[in-house]
């Protein structure tokens, strides 16, 4: 007995789900089966898309992940070395003042200690004055003590336990102040620093946060220039570029440009000084290679002990 052919126009035909195999192996669905087929295909495609997205997200670097990995690695670093350059140009009605400072810094975490040595040059009109600088910062009787030399004169100061009195940048600083950078933006492309590939982040920090990261003396250019108001500087939003070595996941460079914000600050105080340049460029040159930092006896004697 042969099956009775169902008319194409009948409701039964439209309700049934049938397929026929064409010459190219295609499936042609009719009726309610077409909807079911489409749903299955959509579900499979969605699964592939979600799998790809999850794989991409798990491998995608974000600024928070960068900071977390770097902070974790810095906790295992016992010492670090930096090179910092401070460049300032201030213009007044009668003169232009240029200040250039270059320092090599070392610091250790156990015990906490810092050492810096370099030069500072101040040029006003055609006159230039240069000075050799040297600084020790150590713990004595539970207090932070600084021995500083300008040319041949040593001075001893007790700086207290302020988080802004440190020399150099170590893992503890990033642990304490790293949250200031969590709102930074991650650049789409990496950059090269001393031939090594680096992630680059950029954003703003307050003056207080910057002093916590770099130290108050460095932000104030070791008092080689007179700023209008330290408290006002604390409230400023200061642009910072921060670079992290891609392979080592350790800090590479901190670049600060305070030119525009300080210029606006001087104007708000009615000052005639114009800030053409005020930058701090700190590079991390080594990790775990610094010997114990101790103040020589001759330095202590020269400082009046």
Give, as one character, the DSSP assignment of residue 60: -
Q: How do residues 204-245 score in pLDDT, each as one tens digit?
A: 999 988 988 888 889 988 888 888 787 888 999 999 999 999
Q: How do residues 107-123 score in pLDDT, each as one tens digit?
A: 998 888 999 999 999 99
Give, as one character, the DSSP assignment of residue 247: T
Q: What is the model's pLDDT at position 73? A: 93
Residue 45 forms beta bridges with which residues?
Answer: none
Q: Decide if 20 contacts 28 (C-beta within 8 A).
A: yes
Q: What is the model's pLDDT at position 228? A: 79
CB neighbours of 19 closer than 8 A, spacing ≥ 6? 27, 28, 29, 30, 33
CB neighbours of 83 closer than 8 A, spacing ≥ 6? 102, 103, 104, 105, 282, 283, 285
Burial annotation 66-88 (CB, 10 A radius, 16+ → b, else e) = bbeebbebbeebebbbbbbebbb
Q: What is the model's pLDDT at position 44? A: 58
Question: How far, in whole angstroms, is CA 190 from its chain's centroid?
Answer: 13
Distances, alpha carbon 10 to alpha carbons 13, 18, 30, 35, 227, in Å: 5, 14, 13, 19, 91
Q: How do residues 70-117 score in pLDDT, each as one tens digit?
A: 989 998 999 999 999 999 999 987 788 999 999 999 999 888 899 999
């Amino acid at each position: 007995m042969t099956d009775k052919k169902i008319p194409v126009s009948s409701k039964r035909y439209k309700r049934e789900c049938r397929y026929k195999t064409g010459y190219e192996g295609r499936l042609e669905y009719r009726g309610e089966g077409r909807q079911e087929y489409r749903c299955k295909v959509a579900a499979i495609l969605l699964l592939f898309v979600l799998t790809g997205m999850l794989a991409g997200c798990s491998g995608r670097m974000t600024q928070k992940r960068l900071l977390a990995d770097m902070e974790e690695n810095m906790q295992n670093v016992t010492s670090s070395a930096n090179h910092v350059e401070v460049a300032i140009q201030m213009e007044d009605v009668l003169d232009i003042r240029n200040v250039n400072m270059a320092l090599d810094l070392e610091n250790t975490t156990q015990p906490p200690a810092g050492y810096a040595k370099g030069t500072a040059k101040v040029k006003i009109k055609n006159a230039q004055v240069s000075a050799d600088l040297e600084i020790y910062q150590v713990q004595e009787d539970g207090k932070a003590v600084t021995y500083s030399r300008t040319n041949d004169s040593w001075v001893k100061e007790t700086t207290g336990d302020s988080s802004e009195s440190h020399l150099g940048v170590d893992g503890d600083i990033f642990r304490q102040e790293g949250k200031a950078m969590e709102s930074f933006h991650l650049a789409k492309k990496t950059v090269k620093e001393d031939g090594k590939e680096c992630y680059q982040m950029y954003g703003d920090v307050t003056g207080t946060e910057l002093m916590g990261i770099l130290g108050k003396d460095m932000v104030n250019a070791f008092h080689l220039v007179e700023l209008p108001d330290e408290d006002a500087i604390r409230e400023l939003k200061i642009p910072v570029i921060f670079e992290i070595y891609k392979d080592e996941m350790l800090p590479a460079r901190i670049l600060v440009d305070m030119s525009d914000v300080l210029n606006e600050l001087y104007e708000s105080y009615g000052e005639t000084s114009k800030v053409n340049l005020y930058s701090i460029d700190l590079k991390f040159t080594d990790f775990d290679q610094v010997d114990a930092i101790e103040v020589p006896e001759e330095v202590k004697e020269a400082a009046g002990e």
